[in-house]
Amino acid sequence: MGMRISEILGLRWRSVDLVAGMVKVDERFYRGEVGEPKSERARRTLPLGLLTEYYRQHKPAGASPESFVFEKEDGEPGDDRSILRNVIRPAAKRLGFYFEGFGWHSFRRQNITVLQEEGATAFEAMAQAGHSRPSMTGEYTIVGLGRREQAVW
């Protein structure tokens, strides 16, 4: 989907349209603070695609529109550093794909790259990621050797 971890943690059920299969990015949760998205360009509506059904199944019965989609038992969003340290990095190490610098941006870069490998233009990937400049999307794009080989044929 191209969301930042702060946008995922700040996502509330009022911003998820399960009929249309869309998510409205209008808030973020960063290091204990709920606030505005990172930039005006970061305010965007994203298609859920295949994740729509997952969100339908994940939504608790009677969830309040103000409830966070991904919340701890106390109703608050998790801490991005704690999730990365205690869940994501250990799982990556067990699966054998951990590397120095592995973190949330690794997933974001991969998502932006795959979008383009599957046919999205750089401008479509930019809109999906909420970037304000194509050059920023370029910095997130991983151009592998196989893709470069295809470009010359």
pTM of the entire predicted model = 0.80
The total of other beta-carbon atoms located within 10 Å of residue 102's CB is 15
Q: What is the pLDDT of residue 121?
A: 87
Give how far the C-alpha of residue 68 lies from the chain's centroid of Cα atoms, to the nearest Å. 15
Q: Are the CB atoms for 11 and 22 separated by under 8 Å?
A: no
Dump pLDDT digits (tens) for 128-150. Answer: 888 888 888 887 787 777 766 77
Q: What is the pLDDT of residue 131?
A: 86
Distance from C-alpha of 104 to C-alpha of 84, rounded to nearest angstrom:
8
The total of other beta-carbon atoms located within 10 Å of residue 53's CB is 12
**Long-range contacts, stretch 18-25, CB < 8 angstroms, 24+ apart:** 18/52, 18/55, 18/56, 18/59, 21/47, 21/48, 21/49, 21/52, 22/46, 22/47, 22/48, 23/47, 23/48, 25/130
- Out of 33-37, 116-120, 122-126, the most confident range is 33-37
Q: What is the pLDDT of residue 23?
A: 95
Dump pLDDT digits (tens) for 70-119. Answer: 999 888 998 999 999 999 999 999 999 999 989 888 888 888 888 888 88
Q: What is the pLDDT of residue 43?
A: 92
Q: What is the pLDDT of residue 125?
A: 86
Q: What is the pLDDT of residue 1?
A: 67
Distance from C-alpha of 28 to C-alpha of 79, rounded to nearest angstrom:
12
Which strand (E) or helix (H) includes residue 87? none
Query: Reading across the β-sheet that carries 16-17, which strands appear in turn?
Result: 16-17, 22-25, 44-47
Tell me: pLDDT of 14 over 90.
yes
